Amino acid sequence: MFDLNKLYLVFFTLFIIHESIAETERSSSDFLNNKVVSDATARGVILARNEAILASNVNAQVLEMPYFEGDFFNKGDLLVQFDCRKPYADMKSAIATEKLKQQKLMANQELFKYDSISTYEVEVSKAELVIAQAEKEALQSYLAGCKVLAPFDGRVRERMVNKFEMVAANEPLISIIDDSHLEVALILPSRWLQWLKVGQAFEFSIDELKQSHSAEVVRVSPTVDPASRTVKVMAKIKEGEASKHGILSGMSGVASFRTKTNGDEDGG
């Protein structure tokens, strides 16, 4: 299964390196040399912390798909329902077969006490019961895919199939996103790690909305890209700002970090 979020971030990373690495390197150089500068800036993109493209192990017709693009749903809500009448019938047969094999084993064990059958026949009965149980468990696993439930609260980003369509096993069905927890992804010069810390505050100006919002660094990648000399940093926007101001995943903007002047301490 492909991950659109990762693919998007790859293209974004290339864009950031191309568009802003020179500018951010100059800012960091001035900062490290204690020159008077007001801000160190870098481009960033807003991403959802939780998003997924859901699929199923079922090869069947879609019966229900109640949510459309933009619709809200809660964790555990039914997103996709398949026509699983045939595997449900197979499950009834598997349950009956398991019961029959269990009774046969019990009968053979009783006969074995009176030397009416051999040990081999008892062992065969045990093996037949194990096979019947395994077939039932396999069907249970298959039937679990007949209903695709929401793994978290969120919204539908894209429906990839429609009601009544036949779909193959593991085919992408629906793309969902939790837009209540948005983060800012930044690709920054690795030299900034001399002063950039988790918890550091900055302003993020969103291009599409012409708005500036407070953000805070929450995670710094443990590795640096040696080719571009950059590091990935994740930050969070103040709780409640996204829904209040219409901030959406995929929007981009400029992160502005307050820098220091001669004799000042690191900005935060």
One fold for 4-53+175-258 and 56-171: no
Confidence label for 45 from pLDDT (cuts 50, 70 and 90)? very high
Domain ranges of the chain: 4-53+175-258, 56-171
Residue 142 confidence (pLDDT)? 94
Residue 13 confidence (pLDDT)? 53
Q: Is the pTM of this model over 0.75?
A: no
Phi, psi of 66, deg, nearest 5: -75, -15
In angstroms, the CA 73 to CA 77 distance is 6
Confidence label for 79 from pLDDT (cuts 50, 70 and 90)? very high
Residue 240 confidence (pLDDT)? 72
In angstroms, the CA 237 to CA 184 distance is 7
pLDDT tens by residue, 228-247: 999 999 999 877 777 788 89
Name all contacts of 168-171 with Cβ < 8 Å and 24+ positions apart.
168/59, 169/56, 169/57, 169/58, 169/59, 170/1, 170/55, 170/56, 170/57, 171/55
**Closest alpha carbon to 127 in 105, 106, 111, 109:** 105
Phi, psi of 223, deg, nearest 5: -130, 155
Interval 207-225 mean pLDDT: 94
In angstroms, the CA 120 to CA 217 distance is 68
Average pLDDT score, the chain: 86
Indicate if the pLDDT at residue 108 is higher than 80. Answer: yes
What per-residue string of b and e applies to 168-197 under the rule 16 or more CB within 10 Å gives b? Answer: eeeebbbbbbbbbbbbbbbbbbbbbeebbe
Interval 204-209 mean pLDDT: 94
Residue 80 to residues 54, 73, 119, 170, 198: CA-CA distances in angstroms? 10, 12, 50, 13, 40
Interval 135-154 mean pLDDT: 95
Indicate if the pLDDT at residue 60 is higher than 50. Answer: yes
Indicate if the pLDDT at residue 145 is higher than 80. Answer: yes
Higher pLDDT, 26 or 87: 87
Q: Which two tokens stand for residue 52?
A: 């997924």
In the chain the first and final C-alpha atoms are separated, in Å, by: 40
Residue 263 confidence (pLDDT)? 44
Residue 238 confidence (pLDDT)? 78
Residue 220 confidence (pLDDT)? 96
Indicate if the pLDDT at residue 226 is higher than 80. Answer: yes
Q: Which two tokens stand for residue 244?
A: 């209040």
Residue position matching structure tokens 């699983």: 84
Residue 198 confidence (pLDDT)? 94
Lowest pLDDT segment from 28-32, 57-61, 75-79? 28-32
60-64 and 78-82 strand pairing: antiparallel
- Three-state DSSP class for 199? coil
Confidence label for 33 from pLDDT (cuts 50, 70 and 90)? low
Indicate if the pLDDT at residue 207 is higher than 50. Answer: yes
> Hey, how many other C-beta atoms are within 10 angstroms of the C-beta on 225?
14
Percentage of the chain beyond pLDDT 90 is 73
> Hey, how many other C-beta atoms are within 10 angstroms of the C-beta on 264?
11
Among the four given CATH numbers 2.40.30.170, 3.40.50.2300, 2.102.10.10, 3.30.70.260, the one describing domain 4-53+175-258: 2.40.30.170
pLDDT tens by residue, 171-193: 999 999 998 889 999 999 999 99
Interval 119-138 mean pLDDT: 96
CATH architecture of the domain with residue range 56-171 = Beta Barrel (2.40)
